[in-house]
Amino acid sequence: MAVLLLALLPVPPKHSKSSKADRRQRKINANTLQDVFELIFAPLQDVAHVCIPIDCADGKVRLCFPTLSAWIADHMENVGLHGLKTNACPKCEVPTNQLGTNARSYRARDYARYQRYKPENQTSGSETDDDHVMNLGIGQNIFHGLDRVSASDMFKPDILHTIHLGLFTHMMDWIEAFLKKHGRLQAFDEVWKALPPYPGFLVPKKAYREVT
């Protein structure tokens, strides 16, 4: 896999207060991010309709239409890029209280509809039921408006963020608390340290709790 550095994104300091000045600054930050991405995506927009010749792995040259199809990031980056609140799913309109359940029947996010809806809402200044469904943040979705790109399909779960850093970290917290409650934590640590070596498996030298 080849990786090419295109740009370094500006990361502004966090604003925890909800004062007017902070809100204005957050809006400016969101607009700056939007402008940076417009710059990055500009060449991609140009070739979305006009094909370009690209060298293929089999040695031939083919006419290609490169399109953006995935964006791998952790959740906080994703909500920033999609212009959502932190407790929102970037893929579908699942309500916040349904997160973590096995609900799969919510419709995919339609960012075109959100953009039509947002300016009207901002003038009225009041929150409606739709706001809670959409969970929109301050900025706009940076992927919306790109040709041949479906913004709600940009989010792709990956092993590192979703499973190793997300799911397993939580699971180990639960297991530790569970073992503590049932008085098996010592036994767990002893078995953990006594694991035999195996090809491709790195034997842990310390107990799980001793490794931060």
Give contact residues for another protein (rule: CB under 8 A). 97, 100-102, 159, 163-165, 167-175, 177-179, 182, 184, 187-188, 191-192, 195, 201-202, 204, 208
Nearest residue (CB) to another protein, 92 versus 179: 179
Q: How far is the CB of 155 from another protein (least distance, A)?
A: 16
Q: What 3-state class would DSSP assign to 100?
A: coil
For tokens 């952790």, what's the residue?
74
For the record, the structure tokens of 176 come out as 């530790």
Nearest residue (CB) to another protein, 63 versus 211: 211
Residue 156 φ/ψ region, left for φ over 0, alpha for ψ in the -120 to 50 degree band, beta for the rest: beta
Nearest residue (CB) to another protein, 21 versus 174: 174
Query: Helices (DSSP H) in 83-167: which residue ranges?
Result: 111-124, 129-134
Q: How far is the CB of 195 from another protein (least distance, A)?
A: 6
Q: How far is the CB of 90 from another protein (least distance, A)?
A: 19
Q: How far is the CB of 28 from another protein (least distance, A)?
A: 32
Contact 149, 143 (CB under 8 A): yes
Nearest residue (CB) to another protein, 18 versus 101: 101
Between the alpha carbon of residue 78 and those of residues 15, 22, 82, 204, the distances in Å are: 18, 21, 6, 33
